[in-house]
Amino acid sequence: MDTERTPPPPVEQVHAAVERRGQSLVSLEDSPQVSISVMTPPPPVLLAEPFAKPTEPLEGFPEDITPPENFAMVCPYIYRSGMPKKRHFGFLRRLRLRSILTLILEEYPVQSQKFLEHEGIRLFQFGVAGNKEPFADIPESVMTEALCVLMDRRNHPILIHCNKGKHRTGCLVGCLRKLQEWSNTSIFDEYRRYSAPKSRSMDQQFIELFDVRPVLDQIDPENVPDWPTTLYPLQGRAEQ
């Protein structure tokens, strides 16, 4: 297992990168169905390495190894689940996460924010309402931004979650699978395995029609993951 990974960029660079896209770190969309934010822990508690020794348990958070609902490994250094709760914090500590990417619209729970700050975990919030008929759907631009976070290994290890780890998380993982050149049949089989018994045809249509080219245009070729994806031409370009 390769443990030599590029350290996360300074907070100022993260802020500058977001601001260059004309976005605010607090709320990047006016729509009530979309919100994007980035919460960076105070610099003194940022992890220097992705697999640094875990910090001591935070007082009031008992150690436990219970995983969140629908937890699974997506691929090396990327995990998925439902919304982590207090009883899951001990398990999350063992993952030694560098980042969490959430798709919930609501403000992130204060208790969870306190845990992230203590552990030095950066929070990326791409709040979307999900694909629900007849009016709500996931904007492709938000999904593209979320995929760019996943495709930057400086954010790894990273956990993706929504409330249940089913539909919104399934859409993001499905779009990631397109970057990994999975067939639609395999993508939909995986989506239905986690979304059952309430799979949504609109989610599967969204995945099928999602265009990965904007993602390829925006990611940093020097920091793409090592696992097989459509990004091999970019990896080669970075090595030249």
d(CA 200, CA 139): 16
Task: Pick the closest to residue 215 from 228, 226, 230 (CA basis).
Answer: 230
Task: Return the active site residues.
Answer: 162
d(CA 100, CA 38): 10
d(CA 110, CA 91): 19
Encode burial over 173-202: b for 16+ CB neighbours within 10 A, e otherwise.
bbbbbbbbeeeeeebbebbeebbeeebbeb
